[in-house]
């Protein structure tokens, strides 16, 4: 063990630990969930610290030797695999549920970087000389501008992976729309028979909805790109050297490969309000609500196979019952629904966290970062599985679609302009009473000309918008 000191007094720290006394206090105080900070958040914090070290040097606030040691330390951390960073217990040890604003996590980063930098300069761990966690790694920064900036960058970068999966899902649905374009089936509204529709049109509509959801994420990403770094403790820029903001935003643009990153026009607002995180959560919520609807549709369309709709056939992913032989369930879609409900719950928590800011700071940021990153991680993985293990393998049950289409009474709707709504209603009632098809009743009554009858029989024409 080694002895370290802070404002609360001395404390023993494991001699081989790269974290320090403040990290250890946080780990002991907040033994809450056992959930570590998302790797994307760690990466964003490290890249921000690297950007700050370079910006401080360029602003003539930090010695070149110290700046280079910090950058070298961060590069070495970025090269390590996640298992080393988390499972070794030597680096990042703070629980997701920690002190408000993310001070615990910020200091965990500062201490680890300082210790690695000092080690590279031949110093012992825990000496914090010549590189100090607060004086150098955290120079020109405060947790209050570091954490909101890092969580926006982390959310932004993980969201890019989510949008890729949504695009793949949309493409898969488009492919099915083309594959099923020739299959005419009975439409349903209120879960009752409606006018004909093509199976391909249903899937094309699903794809169109996914594309709209992607647009919501693109708009949310634009707000996440507006950063408050350089605002310091309350947004006034206290202790931030001249030129630092301009230098650090250029470094962030390079390290995150995003030239659209920009500084907020109001640094105080960037700390008071976490609206960009809420805007992004809104996109997550809308996506889960729409995907729940689509998954439920697919489960309904595949229900049966002998006592349900069974108009589509889902690929089998696993046996569906421990007692009923041969049963196959829509397991992938069921998994999707469960993930969507979890994300919707996270969004609800986000709403409370977003509204809990007071005066110059929202201290609920660690929770907000966790919620958006967890939701994004779960959603992108769920959507990937749904696309690959379900959507791409869906088959149409053409015979079932044709069967239901022949039985629906609503194909007569096309004749409303010719015979009127009331006359059409009479024919439908008669068909139901006599248990006959609409075409059989029309032939018995002989009320249509041959040309008009062809119009009724041209079901594809009924599915084409004029």
3-state class (DSSP) for residue 409: coil
Complete DSSP assignment for 254-310:
HHTT-TT-EE-S-HHHHHH--HHHHHHHHHHHHHHHHHHHHHHHHHHHT--SSSS--
Fold identical between 2-139 and 145-225+268-399?
Answer: no
What is 409-462's CATH number, 1.10.40.30, 3.40.50.720, 3.40.50.300, 1.10.150.80?
A: 1.10.40.30
Nearest residue to 110 via CA among 58, 64, 70: 70
Q: Considering just the CA atoms, what is the radius of gyration of the chain in Å? A: 30
Assess if CATH 1.20.1250.20 describes domain 2-139: no
Domain residue ranges in the chain: 2-139, 145-225+268-399, 409-462
Model pLDDT, residue 456: 67
Contacts of 423 (CB under 8 A, 6+ apart): none
pLDDT by residue, tens only, the chain of 466 residues: 999 999 999 999 999 999 999 999 999 999 999 999 999 999 999 999 999 999 999 999 999 999 999 999 999 999 999 889 988 999 999 999 999 999 999 999 999 999 999 999 999 999 999 999 999 999 999 999 999 999 999 999 999 999 999 999 999 999 999 999 999 999 999 999 988 999 999 999 999 999 999 999 999 999 999 999 999 999 999 999 999 999 999 999 999 999 999 999 999 999 999 999 999 999 999 999 999 999 999 999 999 999 999 999 999 887 766 677 677 889 999 999 999 999 999 999 999 999 999 999 999 999 999 999 999 999 999 999 999 999 999 999 999 999 998 888 777 787 788 788 888 888 888 888 888 887 788 878 887 777 777 766 677 877 887 6
Model pLDDT, residue 322: 66
- Whole-number Cα distances in Å, 445 to 69, 427, 440: 93, 9, 9
Phi, psi of 339 (to 5 degrees): -65, -45
Assess if CATH 1.20.200.10 describes domain 145-225+268-399: yes
Model pLDDT, residue 466: 62
Considering 33, 321, 406, 425, which one is annotated as catalytic?
321
Known active-site residue 321? yes
Complete DSSP assignment for 315-358:
PP-SB--SSSTT-B--HHHHHHHHHHHHHHHHHHHHHHHHHT-B
CA separation for the pair 383, 209 (Å, rounded)? 14
- DSSP letter for 36, please: B
């Amino acid at each position: 063990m080694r002895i370290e000191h802070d404002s609360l007094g001395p404390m023993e720290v494991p001699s081989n630990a790269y974290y320090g006394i403040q990290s250890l206090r946080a780990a002991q105080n907040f033994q809450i969930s056992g959930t570590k900070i998302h790797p994307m958040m760690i990466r964003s914090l490290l890249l921000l610290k690297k950007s700050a070290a370079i910006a401080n040097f360029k602003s003539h606030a930090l010695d070149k030797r110290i700046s280079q040691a910090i950058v070298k330390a961060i590069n070495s951390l970025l090269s390590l695999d996640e298992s080393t960073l988390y499972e070794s217990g030597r680096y990042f040890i703070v629980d997701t549920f920690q002190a408000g604003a993310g001070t615990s996590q910020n200091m965990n980063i500062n201490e680890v970087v300082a210790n690695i930098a000092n080690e590279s300069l031949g110093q012992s761990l825990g000496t914090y000389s010549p590189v100090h966690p607060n004086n150098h790694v955290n120079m020109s920064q405060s947790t209050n501008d570091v954490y909101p900036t890092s969580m926006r960058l982390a959310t932004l970068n993980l969201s890019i992976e989510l949008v890729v999966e949504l695009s793949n899902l949309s493409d898969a649905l488009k492919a099915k729309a083309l594959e099923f374009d020739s299959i005419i089936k009975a439409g349903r509204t209120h879960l009752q028979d409606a006018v004909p529709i093509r199976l391909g049109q249903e899937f094309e509509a699903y794809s169109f909805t996914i594309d709209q959801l992607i647009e919501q994420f693109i708009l949310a990403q634009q707000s996440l790109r507006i950063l408050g770094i350089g605002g310091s403790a309350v947004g006034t820029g206290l202790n931030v050297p001249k030129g630092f903001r301009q230098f650090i935003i250029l470094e962030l643009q390079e390290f995150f490969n995003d030239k659209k990153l920009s500084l907020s026009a109001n640094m105080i607002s960037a700390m008071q309000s976490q609206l960009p995180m809420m805007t992004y959560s809104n996109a997550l919520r809308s996506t889960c609500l729409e995907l729940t609807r689509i998954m439920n549709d697919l489960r309904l369309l595949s229900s049966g196979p002998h006592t349900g709709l069974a108009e589509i056939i889902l690929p089998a992913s696993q046996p569906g019952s421990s007692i009923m032989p041969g049963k196959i369930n829509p397991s992938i879609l069921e998994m999707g629904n469960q993930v969507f409900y979890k994300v919707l719950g996270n969004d609800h928590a986000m709403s409370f966290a977003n509204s809990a800011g007071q005066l110059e700071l929202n201290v609920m940021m660690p929770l907000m970062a966790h919620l958006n990153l967890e939701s994004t991680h779960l959603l992108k993985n769920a959507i990937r599985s749904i696309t690959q293990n379900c959507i791409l393998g869906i088959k149409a049950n053409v015979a079932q679609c044709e069967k239901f289409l022949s039985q629906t009474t609503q194909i007569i709707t096309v004749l409303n302009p010719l015979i009127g709504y009331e006359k059409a209603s009479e024919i439908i009632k008669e068909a139901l009473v006599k248990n006959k098809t609409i075409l059989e009743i029309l032939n018995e009554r002989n009320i249509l000309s041959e040309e008009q009858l062809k119009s009724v029989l041209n079901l594809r024409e009924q599915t084409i918008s004029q």
